Amino acid sequence: MNIILISAFLGCLALSQAGRSDLKIRWCLKSDQELRKCSDLTAKAPGLVCVKRDSSEECIKAIKDGEADAITLDGGDIYKAGLTNYDLHPIIAEDYGQDSETCYYAVAVVKKGTDFKFSELRGKKSCHTGLGKSAGWNIPIGTLVSRKQITWAGIEDKPVEEAVMEYFSASCAPGATKGSKLCQLCKVDCSRSHKEPYYDYDGAFQCLKAGSGDVAFVKHLTVPAAEKGNYELLCLDDTRKSIDDYKTCSLARVPAHAVVSRKNPELATQIFELLKPLQEAGLFSSEGYSAKNLMFKDSTKKLVELPKTTDSFLYLGAEYMATIRSLKKELSTDPSRALKWCAVGHAETTKCDAWSINSVDASGNARVECQNGQSVDECLSKIMRKEADAMAIDGGQVYSAGKCGLVPAMVEKYSLPCCGSDTCPTDVEDPSYYAVAVVRKDSGVTWSTLKGKKSCHTGLGRTAGWNVPMGLIHKGTGECDFSKFFSQSCAPGADPKSNLCALCAGSGKGVGGEEVKCKASAEELYYGYAGAFRCLVEGGGDVAFIKHTIVEENTGGNGPQWASKLKKSDYRLICPAHPTETFEVTQFAKCNLAKVPAHAVVTRPESRSDVVAVLKEQQARFGSSGSEPQFKMFQSEGGKNLLFKDSTKCLKEVSDKKGYREFLGAAYLSTMDTLRECASSMSDLERACTFHACQQKA
């Protein structure tokens, strides 16, 4: 009997292994030309199976339903594939080589010798790669709408396609309604496939070349080298430049086409392994198939695996997402729409719920609603997805948010004189604060003797608690594995199994306390400024990296119960400027690690003005000098610095001309850029966002 069972087990195992080696990847094709190319590739890759559907959308449905496994899509279709009803993820990006890499430039191409400018496109004939595609539709139409060249109030007024038809005299936009002006210039059936000769990049260019259209909206590599002298680019500043000047004369830089599939890391790896040998075997050539850019763009040089945490929203970035949303806008912004604030952990959610209840206006509408996440990164992802609108975060997190295309909208001010005007009085230091290193007075610890000691941090990736001190240590030692520098630490957000979490306390409640140990939220007792100081006081730490006001706020009877008997005279500051000395905690201006930016509220670019308007109204009611005392935005119960820092006196608007880099300032950026030489210092979110630089300004 045992022999039979063992034989059966071995037989199943053999079948399992055989199944793995014979694994088939079903590629979805949209045209007969693509199908022919795919069929030819199966001779070189027996694991490839070709599945034909009529359109990108049909392929997306087939992959979602398990009838196919993969397809390469452009940004507009990646957006559609990532929506909740499909939930497909980009797994592999096309790389176009030097200058472009995993991005490309959307450009407006015209014939040399014509004399119109970008602002004079009204009444012209236009050639588009396809309805809803990035370079051919979303970017140019989004640009024309945002510049008010195309007049469009929103989808409740009329579809954006109607507004485009009123702007251009005739067009070819494959995928549009057959018989409409948007199909007037097309050659065959106006389908969004290679059955239409004017479809895709080469098709839109042929539409221009044949004289059917006056302008073609394509990618920067579309015009063949031999023909570049006959064409020019239209620039947004109303000049014209040569085809090779696309970097300074483009409409936008957008993410490369990418392979999408179901969310399955193992399947993603198998797809990449299947494609790897084909990259040198004709995968990027459409020669001989009477069409271009079949399965992959012909300009692709290689394929690059994406980080496993990447989804369509992270891949496309907030700036491109804003462009797509601008084409789906509602007729008018509802002034009663609530601001969706993202809270991290139970304590913040409790405070946010109290804010929401108190925010109800005279019409009975809540002006603030609460979303929550397990971490700041999860909240930032929700803001990108439009599941939340805003949150206040520290400078290090503003850096990560900026890398993902979010923008600072308001900044915390910590001095009342700074709240009455746009600028602070010259004798008031604001809105920055000092990052300091605090030790016990009798410990004998100095900056020069830090190695091997036990450290307490506000949280991984946070400014005063991690980025500044670790940046300085990295600069001095070249060491990236900070778990080797300190013997033990509490750095909430680090791997709970590492010694970077060894000093953390969890919730301190026994049952379930271990589950939140080293979690980057207020549920971990040693998280945040006061938490890191508490780790020094009672958790065995030798040094706490915190903000300069924290010792004062938690000594002399000022702090919570655990700090009730503490005296500030029992603590000292250490710093690299005076490596063998210690200083009183009041001497932070002389002994600090850096002067760093204040915390800021971040949001999506297109939501900035709405977020500012609601927060101004809310702080008039619930701020430090607000008219309604039943709730205080800048006070915390059941924790410290919940939603905002408790030392905040007001929020002030950040200029819409300031991106995250201008907001953070050159000195802090230098620290962050140095620290980013250590791969371990980058969160999964930031890694996914910075895989390509398309949402950063060109």
536-575 core/surface letters (b: 16 or more CB in 10 A; e: else): bbebebbbbbbbbbbbebbbeeebeeebeebebeebbbbb
In the numeric block, which tokens belong to residue 561? 């119960």
Helices 312-326, 139-146: inter-axial angle, 10-degree rounding: 40
The reply to whether omega before 431 is within 30° of 0 (cis) is yes
In the numeric block, which tokens belong to residue 86? 């499909």
In the numeric block, which tokens belong to residue 356? 């929401």
Give the mean pLDDT per block of 10 residues along the chain (698 residues). 42 37 86 95 95 95 97 94 93 82 89 96 98 94 93 88 97 96 96 92 97 97 96 97 96 91 95 95 93 93 90 84 77 65 94 96 93 92 92 92 92 85 60 89 95 95 91 88 92 92 87 77 91 94 95 90 93 96 95 91 93 96 90 91 92 92 88 82 82 55
Contact partners, residue 113, CB within 8 Å, separation at least 6: none
* Residues 602 and 395: beta-carbon distance below 8 Å: no
Residue 148 half-sphere exposure toward CB, CA atoms < 13 A: 0
CA distances from 296 to 257, 303, 540 (A): 8, 10, 57
In the numeric block, which tokens belong to residue 361? 């206006």
Q: What is the DSSP letter of 178?
A: T
CA distances from 611 to 14, 259, 335, 557 (A): 59, 35, 11, 37
Distance from C-alpha of 419 to C-alpha of 431, rounded to nearest angstrom = 10
β-pair partners for 651: 412
**pLDDT value at position 20?**
42
Residue with tokens 């819409």: 656
* Residues 261 and 88: beta-carbon distance below 8 Å: yes
Among 173, 160, 162, residue whose Cα is nearest residue 128: 173
Residue 466 in 3-state DSSP?
helix
Among 533, 375, 361, 391, residue whose Cα is nearest residue 461: 375
The side-by-side arrangement of strands in the sheet containing 71-73 is 71-73, 258-261, 89-95, 302-305
CA distances from 239 to 76, 248, 698 (A): 28, 11, 18
283-292 core/surface letters (b: 16 or more CB in 10 A; e: else): bbebeebebb
Contact partners, residue 195, CB within 8 Å, separation at least 6: 31, 32, 188, 189
Contact partners, residue 390, CB within 8 Å, separation at least 6: 339, 340, 341, 342, 383, 409, 601, 602, 603, 607, 611, 615
pTM of the model: 0.74
Contact partners, residue 150, CB within 8 Å, separation at least 6: 141, 144, 163, 164, 166, 167
Distance from C-alpha of 253 to C-alpha of 385, rounded to nearest angstrom = 20
Q: What is the DSSP letter of 598?
A: P
HEC-encoded secondary structure of 444-465: CCCHHHCCCCEEEECCCCCHHH
C-alpha angle 250-256-257 in degrees, rounded to nearest 5: 125
Among 690, 689, 697, 692, residue whose Cα is nearest residue 256: 692
Contact partners, residue 147, CB within 8 Å, separation at least 6: 236
Residue 589, phi then psi, degrees to nearest 5: -65, -30
The dihedral sign for the CA sequence 420, 421, 427, 432: positive
43-65 core/surface letters (b: 16 or more CB in 10 A; e: else): eebeebebbbbebbbebbbbbee
Among 282, 203, 280, 283, residue whose Cα is nearest residue 27: 283
Gyration radius (Cα) of the chain, Å: 29
Burial class, 577, CB count within 10 angstroms (exposed 0-12 / middle 13-18 / buried 19+): exposed
Distance from C-alpha of 59 to C-alpha of 630, rounded to nearest angstrom = 55
β-pair partners for 253: 105
Q: Catalogue the E-assigned strands of 453-568.
A: 454-457, 488-490, 543-547
